[in-house]
Amino acid sequence: MTHYYQLSASEFDWKTSDKRTITSWGFNKSFPGPTLKAKKGDEMVIRVKNNLPEATVIHWHGIRLPAIMDGTNIVQNPIKPGEEFEYRFAVPDAGTFWYHSHFNETKQMEQGMYGALIVEDESDPVFDDEKIFIMDDIKLNRSGEFKQGNFIQRWQERHDGRQGEIILVNGKENPVININAGQTERWRFINAASARYFRLSFGGRPFRIIGTDGGLIERPVDVTELLLVPGERIDLAVGPFNEEDAFSINTLKYDRMTFVRSRNSQLATVKVGPSQSSVTDLPGKLRDIQSLAPQEAEATRKIKFSVGASLKHGIDFLVNGEMHNNDKPVYVGDLQVWEIANKSLMDHPFHLHGYFFQVIEENGKTPAYMAWKDTYNLKPKSKIKIAWIPDNRPGMWMYHCHILEHHEAGMMGHFEVIDPSKGPSDKVHHHHHISHH
């Protein structure tokens, strides 16, 4: 089946609460943009019309699509104001994905240019209901605008990433979420913030993780809190709760070594309604995930994330000692084992475009559970080893820190996936790689 969508990017007024209206940028005058839906294996045709005063490009975060549809400025020319571009791709995996601007992101994403893309599958577990939570925060100046501050504030933002005190859940401040007592729902969380880490807690109530970036995990994992970093998704089984229970969804303090201190904040209020019967059927076994490589597999590539002093900017964010690193190619079908070291004293969410990886080792240990990931947090002074296989989708791809200001400040690498029978492409857009503005 083919799903046709039209997304028109423009500026519009958006009410985040009864007391606040902001001038946002987004799709179809909605913050976040419309939720795009498909079934595993379907085709999507999405026409993006740019009615903004500046160019844009739309990236489909987590979708294993052809390189030319990835929506970055290394694979396509930006969509100029007044112009249209048609994205067309199949969605091979079920899970929680999202789309967002991949051009002047520190402004465009901060102002709301993102939305959810949900791919369902017949074999998905059955729940009483499902909700999507797109998490964000915004930073406004005293006049309630998105403008950047003075030199010092900009320097701090370059270091920390842009983090604001107004937290938005699906574009709203502290919304009320309703759930019936006795029922269990699937809650899909997407972190669309420029830099904020959400350490989610439901007032200490237990919940179960059932999926991550690349869809379901092998079996549900019981937790009482979890860390959701920029770009990352997590699917939860939430409930059942008792009648008349009420609690808030909070983000707990998480120190990612920023200048601005982290604190606990309330994100939403959950109200539990009258009891209803339940049809939820959550099996103990959700999926099989075949391991790509053992923990001790030797690294085929080493990547270093670091920061460096810069005369011009105070601080630069580097991959292998360079801003916007031009990394070596990989060949279709060759198992990749990448060791990624974070040499800096801050956290960085590592994101690989277009392919899922498995984390096979983190600081000498195997992770708590197997999962397909496209975004994974690198703690300060830590090292992870990931395994992935470039399937047959040759072209230019990239990886980067998903803190948007760090990405912009250089913390990214691009590389080519080469089909050995065809050889390297002519890299048409290669010279564009630092044209973020």
Residues lying near Cu ion in the complex (CB under 5 A): 348, 401, 403, 406
Please name every residue paired with 26 in a beta bridge, in sequence order, or none if there are none: 10
Nearer Cβ to Cu ion (238/401):
401
Question: CB of 290: closest distance to ligand C2O in angstroms?
Answer: 26
Which CB atom, from 103 or from 127, has the smaller least distance to ligand C2O? 103
Residue 348's binding partner out of ligand C2O, Cu ion, none, with CB under 5 to 8 Å set by partner kind: Cu ion
Q: Are 9 and 26 within 8 A, CB to CB?
A: yes
CB of 403 to Cu ion, least distance (A): 4
Least separation in angstroms between residue 168's CB and ligand C2O is 18
Q: Which is nearer to ligand C2O, 164 or 231 (CB)?
A: 231
Nearer to ligand C2O, 272 or 412 (CB): 412
Residue 100 contact among ligand C2O, Cu ion, none, beta carbon within 5 to 8 Å by kind: ligand C2O
Q: State which residue has the least CB distance to ligand C2O.
A: 61
Closest distance of CB 217 from Cu ion, Å: 25
Residues 355 and 374 sit within 8 Å (Cβ to Cβ): yes
Question: How far apart are CB 38 and Cu ion at their closest, in Å?
Answer: 31
- Distance of closest approach, residue 349 Cβ to Cu ion, in angstroms: 7
Nearer to ligand C2O by C-beta: 192 or 370?
Answer: 192
Residue 432's binding partner out of Cu ion, ligand C2O, none, with CB under 5 to 8 Å set by partner kind? none
In terms of CB distance, is 297 or 315 closer to Cu ion?
Answer: 315
Comparing CB distances to ligand C2O, the nearer of 61 and 158 is 61
**Lookup result for tokens 């903004």:** 52
Q: For 240, how many CA atoms within 13 A lie in the half-sphere containing its CB?
A: 18
Q: Which does 414 bind (CB under 5 to 8 A by kind): ligand C2O, Cu ion, none?
A: none
Alpha helix (H) ranges present in 35-150? 105-108
CB 177, CB 131: distance < 8 Å:
yes
Residue 64 touches which member of ligand C2O, Cu ion, none, C-beta under 5-8 Å by kind = none
- Position 423, amino acid: G
Q: Return residues touching ligand C2O (CB under 6 A).
A: 59, 61, 100, 102, 231, 351, 353, 400, 402
Residue 1 CB, nearest distance to Cu ion (Å)? 39
Beta-bridge mates of residue 155: none
C-alpha distance from residue 83 to each of 7, 34, 64, 104, 437 (Å): 12, 20, 26, 17, 18
Bond before 240 cis per omega within 30 degrees: yes
Cβ(108)–Cβ(29) below 8 Å: no
- Considering the complex, what minimum distance in angstroms separates the CB of residue 65 from ligand C2O? 13
Q: Which is nearer to ligand C2O, 379 or 436 (CB)?
A: 436
Sheet holding 43-50, edge to edge: 20-27, 2-17, 43-50, 84-90
- Residue 406 binding partner per list Cu ion, ligand C2O, none, with a CB distance cut-off of 5 to 8 Å that depends on partner kind: Cu ion
DSSP class of 365: B
Residue 153's contacts (CB-CB under 8 Å, 6 or more residues apart) are: none
- The pair of structure tokens assigned to 278 is 């339940």
182, amino acid identity: G
Q: Closest distance between ligand C2O and the C-beta of residue 336, in Å?
A: 18
Q: How far apart are CA 234 and CA 415, in angstroms?
A: 27
Query: Quick check: 97 and 154 in contact, CB under 8 A?
Result: no
Q: Is 186 helix (H, G, I), strand (E, B) or coil?
A: strand
Considering the complex, state which of residue 215 and residue 231 has its C-beta at the smaller distance from ligand C2O.
231
